């Protein structure tokens, strides 16, 4: 068997499965995978699908694959736990696998132990944008009785660097979450096989008492506060200041003798 024979054989098997479960002709699927890549089947579905039904079935096939990969990582504890940044990035990389046709905004709703109650895609947009609605997110968080949430969205263009719009949307969501007592722990941006954490970048102020989460940003990410620090007075200094203030108040009030002397002076 030649060097590339096994690859061709595997492509042929994949094309046969695609035909079996979607109705897309095997030959068409085979030549597409050979010329492009298996990962491009869903993003470029318009090139090989003749009907909307075929497109939906192909999407379901990829959903099956992604869920299978995600569940493999959670079989030990039978639950998804996002207790640190690396787990969150891996979770959402699997969640967004093969979804590079358009931008999607998703949220993981967590309990008090950072276990995933549910993950939902709340909106999807064009190739480079997805609307974020804090009101809708708050409603879902209250419905799931979530203690905290993690945001995520994908960048179909492959650039993981956050945009100014990403940072502004994160800020709006955090303000909304604060009003109902739900913590925003992180915002993960996925670009293909890469992912970044806005919490790691210092773009989200995390409560210091939440274990296992990304720490606050270092001075290289977030500038130090250059404003002068006000030193709190000691207890001894506070007592001394109080005595001084009381003495000044007493000195400002005339004694009975002083009032009598003043009245006698007026009578003369």
Backbone φ and ψ for 198, nearest 5 degrees, come out as -70, -25
Per the CB < 8 A criterion, the answer to whether 80 and 115 are in contact is: yes
Inside any domain, residue 259: no
The CATH number of residue 178's host domain is 3.40.140.10
Name the pLDDT band for 220 (thresholds 50, 70, 90): very low
Q: Report the DSSP beta bridge partners of residue 54.
A: none
Ordered DSSP codes for 185-199:
EEEEEEETTEEEETT
Q: Which of 67, 61, 16 is nearest to 39 (CA)?
A: 61
- Rounded to 10 degrees, what is the CA torsion of 172, 178, 182, 183? 70
| Measured distance CA(88)–CA(108) in Å, rounded | 9
The pairing of beta strand 104-110 with beta strand 148-154? antiparallel
Verdict on whether the full-model pTM lies above 0.75: no
pLDDT of residue 167 exceeding 60, the answer is yes
> Which residues of 125-268 form beta strands (DSSP E)?
148-154, 183-191, 194-197
Picking from 179, 197, 215, the residue at the C-terminal end of a domain is 197
Picking from 16, 41, 70, the residue at the C-terminal end of a domain is 70
pLDDT, one tens digit per residue, over 35-94 is 888 877 877 777 888 888 988 888 888 777 776 666 665 554 446 778 888 889 999 998
| Core vs surface per residue 132-165: b (16+ CB within 10 A) or e | beeeebbebbeebebbbbbbbbbbbeeeeebeee
Domain count, the chain: 2
Confidence at residue 227, expressed as pLDDT on a 0 to 100 scale: 42
Do 88 and 183 lie in one domain? The reply is yes
Do 90 and 186 lie in one domain? The reply is yes
Q: Which token pair is 144?
A: 């799931």
SS3 category, 17:
helix
Per the CB < 8 A criterion, the answer to whether 137 and 173 are in contact is: yes
Confidence at residue 40, expressed as pLDDT on a 0 to 100 scale: 78
Do 49 and 116 lie in one domain? The reply is no
pLDDT of residue 162 exceeding 60, the answer is yes
Q: Which token pair is 243?
A: 């005595």
Inside any domain, residue 261: no
Per the CB < 8 A criterion, the answer to whether 128 and 156 are in contact is: yes
Inside any domain, residue 61: yes
pLDDT, one tens digit per residue, over 117-148 is 989 988 887 666 667 788 889 999 999 999 99
Domain that holds residue 46: 5-70
Ordered DSSP codes for 191-228:
ETTEEEETTTTT-S---TT-TTSPPPPPTTTS----SP
139: DSSP letter: H
Sign of dihedral through CA atoms 37, 71, 92, 179? positive
Inside any domain, residue 147: yes
Backbone φ and ψ for 5, nearest 5 degrees, come out as -65, -40
Do 83 and 54 lie in one domain? The reply is no
Q: Mean pLDDT for the chain?
A: 76
Q: Which token pair is 99?
A: 């979804």
Do 122 and 43 lie in one domain? The reply is no
Name the pLDDT band for 268 (thresholds 50, 70, 90): very low
| Measured distance CA(238)–CA(46) in Å, rounded | 76
Q: Which token pair is 163?
A: 């945009």
Per the CB < 8 A criterion, the answer to whether 197 and 88 are in contact is: yes
């Amino acid at each position: 068997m030649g060097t590339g024979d096994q690859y061709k054989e595997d492509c042929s098997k994949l094309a046969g499965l695609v035909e079996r479960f979607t109705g897309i002709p095997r030959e068409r699927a085979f030549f597409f995978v050979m010329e492009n890549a298996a990962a491009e089947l869903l993003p470029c579905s318009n090139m090989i699908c003749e009907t909307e039904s075929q497109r939906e079935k192909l999407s379901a096939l990829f959903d099956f694959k992604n869920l299978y990969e995600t569940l493999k990582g959670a079989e030990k504890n039978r639950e998804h736990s996002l207790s640190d940044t690396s787990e969150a990035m891996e979770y959402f990389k699997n969640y967004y696998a093969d979804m590079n046709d358009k931008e999607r905004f998703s949220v993981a709703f967590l309990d008090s132990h950072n276990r995933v109650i549910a993950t939902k895609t709340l909106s999807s947009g064009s190739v480079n944008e997805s609307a974020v609605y804090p009101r809708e997110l708050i409603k879902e968080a209250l419905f799931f009785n979530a203690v905290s949430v993690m945001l995520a969205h994908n960048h179909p263009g492959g650039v993981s660097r956050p945009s100014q719009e990403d940072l502004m949307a994160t800020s709006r969501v955090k303000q909304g979450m604060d009003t109902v007592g739900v913590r925003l722990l992180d915002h993960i941006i996925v670009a293909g096989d890469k992912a970044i954490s806005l919490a790691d970048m210092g773009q989200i102020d995390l409560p210091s008492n939440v274990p296992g989460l990304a720490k606050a940003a270092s001075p290289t990410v977030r500038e130090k506060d250059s404003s002068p620090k006000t030193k709190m007075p000691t207890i001894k200094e506070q007592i001394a200041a109080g005595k001084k203030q009381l003495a000044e108040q007493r000195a400002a009030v005339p004694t009975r003798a002083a009032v009598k002397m003043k009245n006698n002076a007026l009578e003369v």
